[in-house]
Amino acid sequence: MQLGLPELIFIILLITLIFGSERIFNAFREVPTIIKSFQKDAGKEGLASIGELSKLSIFTLEDIQLNKEVEDLRDTIGVLKLLKNRLTVFISSTMADLSTERQVVASSVEELFATKPWLFEDNAGPESQSPKKIYLDAVKNCNVFILIIGSKISDPVKEEYKVAKKERKPILVFVKKCKKPKEVDNFLNVLSKDGITWTEFSSTQELGIKVKGAIVNHIVSSYLEYGLSKRHSVVLALFVKQLEDVNLLYQRKENLLLELKSNPDDKEIKKKVKELEKHLGESEAEISNKISIKHESLASLYFKKGHVALSNKDYPVAIRMFTFCIFLEPGTERYYQVRANAYSGSGHSKKAIYDLLDVLKINPKNTDARHSLAYLYDKIGENKKTEEQFREIIAINKITGLKWRASYYKKEFMYSSAIEDYTSLIFLEPKNYFHYISRGDAYFEFSDYKSALADYDYAIGIDSDSSSGYIQRGKVFRAMDRYADAIRDFTKAIDIKPFGYRYIYRAEVYFDINEYDMALKDANNAIDVSPKSSQAFRCRAKVLKALGDPISAAFDLETANNLDKN
């Protein structure tokens, strides 16, 4: 495929707009690579010129921003793309017994393009707040509340439902067909009295289909609220009808399987089940096709390719893919942000800074971009700009900013400054376990063992079931030569969770007091728990050497070195 002069000028003008006049020279240097890759990718799609690139994207960013009507009203994802913001769907259920169902619902929500799931186990983030505050705040901030009920119920689930009801969230309930204790039946009675209806399901496949239908049905019923037209709602309603037809197929299959259970040798029933399964597969494929990757924009496809390259540390390819995204959809902050990550990974700090500054032009309150900028400025020796970025983050979100700056100070061995920030955090959140642990760590590194012990003691008082306090306090006791206290704390941490490194900590203390047999026992335990830990083998090598077995010690050291290489 040949590119003419008009197409080449078009590319240069767009790149100029993207990079700005002060960086035009660098932009020009990227033109040959961009043209070559576009020719390659466009050639695969059978395009005649750059001008036809838009044909690869059924809905352009401009279409979405202007909220134009979809050309093909049968295109479900096209309508869903018109929603200005993705709807957050909070998924509530007991976690242990419904873990698979929770992931299935999350996947179904993600597939709809217009919605994103909120699962506690995936979205709660660092425990800077109490778990209860995290999940109840998430309920308050969600757009749709999904409740899955199985054979158990819990107080957190009841609390989540009460908040969703109080906040007048759309509530979609799915009940698993299984034997339920009285407590679950009582809760279902509460839902019934509140006027809440629910949908039953037998399998995870059925649940996934029903969840999609319920969410789209909600969007249909509230189409004006979401900025859609009557015609758009008709498209979505037809999609819901198709999902309901698939649900009927599942019910027929369930009935046939019950018949087959009573008549296991009935060939006619077996034939019907096989035909029904084939029909189900075809129907699900058609539904999936309506929300499949072929409807994504070309920029989205390059974005996925770029992420794969970035995760594989193939930075040149990642940079090229993200550059395509910016070329096709300028003004999208995430494209600049991920390209900054790729530039940073490849050692091009200044280019990464340029991209992050572009992110802030689009969204000045992007704290993640400012956090990355702070570290990049530090990397190139512009410490005043690093401090400036942290001040900006603190102005946007005080707690997050103080935490990030304190971590930065600790990394830079600026322990006095880190302690000041952790003290400010403790003033703001006096019952936060992790603030005391973090300040204790800073005191420990500062060799202020008395203050470190006080913070670890307070943290353990807040949460005696968390191991971090015992581990860190054990390290302080060891540094103070209080070996019995150190052994007691490391033992407590092991009792909470017997990780390999915890056995190593205790083994080191036993080694310090010449209790080599006990140290060997802990080193062996560490290797049993973490057989790929080079640290565990080095610990045992040291103990074996002290016990007068240099041959075994040498073998362990060789094993440790091989593990490090791998």
How much is the pLDDT for 128?
59
How much is the pLDDT for 278?
72
- Tracing tokens 């969770």 back to the chain, one arrives at 497
Residue (of 180, 179, 133, 132) closest to 153 by Cα position: 180
How much is the pLDDT for 428?
94
How much is the pLDDT for 241?
63
Please name the helix (run of DSSP H) or strand (run of DSSP E) that holds residue 198, with its range, or none: strand 198-201
500-537: burial string, b at 16+ Cβ within 10 Å, e else = bebbbbbbbbbbeeebbebbbbbbbbbbebbeebbbbb
Report d(CA 100, CA 91) in Å as an integer: 12
Report d(CA 105, CA 102) in Å as an integer: 5
> Which residues does residue 117 pair with via DSSP β-bridges, in sequence order?
89
Residue (of 31, 7, 5) closest to 18 by Cα position: 31
DSSP character for 177?
Answer: S
CB atoms near residue 11 (< 10 Å): 18
How much is the pLDDT for 6?
52
How much is the pLDDT for 22?
44
Report d(CA 299, CA 322) in Å as an integer: 8
CB atoms near residue 39 (< 10 Å): 15
Q: In Å, how far are 111, 172, 201, 276, 506 from 209, measured between CA atoms?
A: 11, 14, 10, 16, 52
How much is the pLDDT for 249?
65
Its CATH architecture, for the domain 76-290, is 3-Layer(aba) Sandwich (3.40)
Please name the helix (run of DSSP H) or strand (run of DSSP E) that holds residue 89, with its range, or none: strand 87-92
Tokens in use for 293?
Answer: 């990757």
String of DSSP letters for 346-401: TT-HHHHHHHHHHHHHH-TT-HHHHHHHHHHHHHTT-HHHHHHHHHHHHHH-HHHH
Query: Are residues 120 and 156 in contact, defined by beta-carbon separation less than 8 angstroms?
Result: no
Q: 283: left (phi > 0), else alpha (psi -120 to 50), else beta?
A: alpha
Burial tier of 281 (Cβ tally within 10 Å: 0-12, 13-18, 19+): exposed
The domains of the chain are located at 5-56, 76-290, 500-566
DSSP character for 294?
Answer: G
Taking CA 138 as the corner, what is the angle to CA 427 and CA 131, rounded to the nearest 5 degrees? 50
Q: How many residues does the chain have?
A: 566
The edge-to-edge listing of strands for the beta sheet with 115-118 is 115-118, 87-92, 144-149, 171-176, 198-201
Q: In Å, how far are 62, 74, 84, 223, 233 from 226, measured between CA atoms?
A: 18, 19, 8, 5, 10
Report d(CA 20, CA 481) in Å as an integer: 61
How much is the pLDDT for 78?
54
Tokens in use for 566?
Answer: 């791998």
| pLDDT per 10-residue tile (average), the chain, 566 residues | 51 50 44 45 36 33 32 46 72 89 85 79 69 90 94 93 94 92 93 92 84 83 72 61 63 70 77 72 55 52 86 90 79 91 93 94 93 94 94 95 94 94 94 94 94 95 91 95 96 93 95 95 95 94 94 94 88
Query: Are residues 76 and 235 in contact, defined by beta-carbon separation less than 8 angstroms?
Result: yes
Its CATH architecture, for the domain 500-566, is Alpha Horseshoe (1.25)
Instruction: State CA 110 to chain mean position distance.
Output: 12
Using N-to-C axis directions, what is the helix angle for 315-328 and 333-345, rounded to 10°?
A: 160
